[in-house]
Amino acid sequence: AIAALGFRAADPTGYGRFIVEGARLVAIREQADASEAERRIDLCNAGVMAIDGRRALQILGQIGNANSKGEYYLTDAVESVRKQGWESVVIETSEDEVRGINTKAQLAEAEAVMQARLRKAAMEAGVTLIAPETVYLAADTVFGKDVTIEPFVVIGPGVSIADGTVIHSFSHIVQTTLGKNVSIGPYARLRPGTSLGDGARIGNFVETKAATLEAGVKVNHLSYIGDATVGANSNIGAGTITCNYDGFKKHKTVIGQGAFVGTNSSLVAPVRIGNGAYIGSGSVITRDVPDDAMALERNQQTIREGGAARYREMKTGGKKPEK
Distances (CA, A) of 274 to 12, 224, 232, 244, 279: 66, 19, 12, 18, 10
Q: Name all contacts of 247-254 with Cβ < 8 Å and 24+ positions apart.
A: 250/210, 250/226, 251/227, 252/227, 252/228, 253/225, 253/227, 253/228, 253/229, 254/228, 254/229
Q: Domain 2-98 is of which CATH architecture?
A: Alpha-Beta Complex (3.90)
Dist. CA 259–CA 271, nearest whole Å: 14
Taking the domain 104-295, which CATH number applies? 2.160.10.10
The reported pLDDT for the residue numbered 322 is 62
Residue 271 has pLDDT above 90, yes or no: yes
Q: Which amino acid is at 45?
A: N
Q: What average pLDDT does this structure show over 213-227? A: 97
Q: Rounded mean pLDDT of the chain?
A: 94
Q: What average pLDDT does this structure show over 182-203? A: 98
pLDDT in tens, 11-64: 898 899 999 998 899 999 988 889 999 999 999 999 999 999 999 999 999 998
Dist. CA 141–CA 127, nearest whole Å: 12
**Count of CB atoms situated within 10 Å of the CB of 238:** 18
The reported pLDDT for the residue numbered 312 is 87
* Contacts with 219 (C-beta within 8 Å, 6 or more apart), sequence order: 201, 202, 203, 206, 208, 213, 225, 230, 236, 240
Q: What is the pTM of this model?
A: 0.82
Task: In the chain, list all ranges with CATH 2.160.10.10.
Answer: 104-295
Residue 321 has pLDDT above 80, yes or no: no
Please state which of the ranges 161-175, 248-262, 309-323 shows the lowest mean pLDDT.
309-323
Q: What average pLDDT does this structure show over 201-209? A: 98
C-beta of residue 273 within 8 angstroms of C-beta of residue 254: yes
157 preceded by a cis bond (ω within 30 of 0): no
Which three-class secondary structure string do you get for 95-158?
Answer: HHHHCCCCCHHHHHHHHHHHHHHHHHHHHHCCCEECCHHHCECCCCCEECCCCEECCCCEECCC
Residue 131 has pLDDT above 90, yes or no: yes
3-class SS of residue 163? coil
Task: In the chain, list all ranges with CATH 3.90.550.10.
Answer: 2-98
Dist. CA 34–CA 208, nearest whole Å: 55
C-beta of residue 263 within 8 angstroms of C-beta of residue 279: no
* Contacts with 211 (C-beta within 8 Å, 6 or more apart), sequence order: 193, 194, 195, 225, 226, 227, 228, 229, 230
Q: Could you tell me the end-to-end alpha-carbon distance of the chain, in angstroms, rounded to an integer?
A: 85
Q: What average pLDDT does this structure show over 94-103? A: 89
The reported pLDDT for the residue numbered 66 is 84
What residues act catalytically?
221
C-beta of residue 178 within 8 angstroms of C-beta of residue 163: no
